[in-house]
Amino acid sequence: MLTGLRGVGKTVLLNEFERLAEGRGYFHEHIEVGEDGELPQRLAAAFRRLLLSMDAKRRIGERVHRALGVLKAFNIRLPDGLELNIDVDAVHGPADSGDLATDLAGLFVELGEVARDHDTGVLITVDEVHYVKLATLEALVMGLHRATQLALPITVAGAGLPSLATLTGEAKSYAERVFTFPDIDTLAQDQAREALDLPAADENVQWTDDALDRVVEVTRGYPYFLQEYGKQAWEAAEGPALITLDDVERSIPVATAELDDGFFRVRTGRTSDAERAYLRAMAEIGPGPVRTSDVASLLSKRTTALGPVRDGLLKKALCYSPRWGVIDFTVPMFDSFMKRWIPEVPPFGERTR
226 makes contact with ligand ADP (CB under 6 A): yes
The one-character DSSP state at 1 is -
Phi-psi region of 93 (alpha: psi -120 to 50; beta: other; left: phi over 0): left
Alpha-carbon distance of 293 to 297, in angstroms, equals: 6
Could you tell which of ligand ADP, Mg ion, none binds residue 274, using a CB distance below 5 to 8 A set by kind? none
Q: Which does 195 bind (CB under 5 to 8 A by kind): Mg ion, ligand ADP, none?
A: ligand ADP
Choose between 219 and 352: whose C-beta lies nearer to ligand ADP: 219
Residue nearest to ligand ADP (CB): 9
- Is residue 15 involved in binding Mg ion (CB under 5 A)? no
What distance in Å separates the CA atoms of residue 74 and residue 82, rounded to the nearest whole number?
11
In angstroms, the CA 97 to CA 111 distance is 18
- Run of H or E residues at 275: helix 273-285
Q: What angle in degrees, to the nearest 10, is found between the helix axes of 273-285 and 307-315?
A: 90
Residue 68 DSSP SS3 = helix
Which one of residues 41, 148, 189, 227 is an interface residue with ligand ADP (CB under 6 A)?
227
Nearest distance in Å: CB 162, ligand ADP: 11
Binder among 40, 69, 106, 223 for ligand ADP (CB under 6 A): 223
Compute the least distance from the CB of residue 201 to ligand ADP, in Å. Answer: 15
* Coil vs helix vs strand at 73: helix
Nearest by Cα to 171 from 132, 205, 207: 132
Q: Residue 207 binds which entry of Mg ion, ligand ADP, none, with Cβ cut-offs from 5 to 8 Å by kind? A: none
Residue 313 touches which of ligand ADP, Mg ion, none (Cβ within 5-8 Å per kind): none
158 binds ligand ADP (CB under 6 A): no
User: In the complex, what is the shortest distance from the CB of residue 270 to ligand ADP, in angstroms, rounded to a whole number?
Assistant: 19
Backbone angles phi, psi at 107, to 5 degrees: -70, -45
193 binds ligand ADP (CB under 6 A): no
Site membership for ligand ADP, residue 157 (CB under 6 A): no
CB 159 to Mg ion: min, Å: 6
346 in helix, strand or coil?
A: coil
**Position 7 contacts ligand ADP (CB under 6 A):** yes
Residue 11 in contact with Mg ion, rule: CB under 5 A: yes
* 11 binding ligand ADP? (CB under 6 A): yes
Choices 8-16, 44-52, 146-154, 317-325 (CB under 5 A): range interacting with Mg ion: 8-16
* b/e map 34-72, b = 16+ CB within 10 Å: eeebbbbbbbbbbbbebbeebbeebebeebbbbbbbbbb
Binding residues (CB under 6 A) for ligand ADP: these are 4, 6-12, 195, 223-224, 226-227
Binding residues (CB under 5 A) for Mg ion: these are 10-11
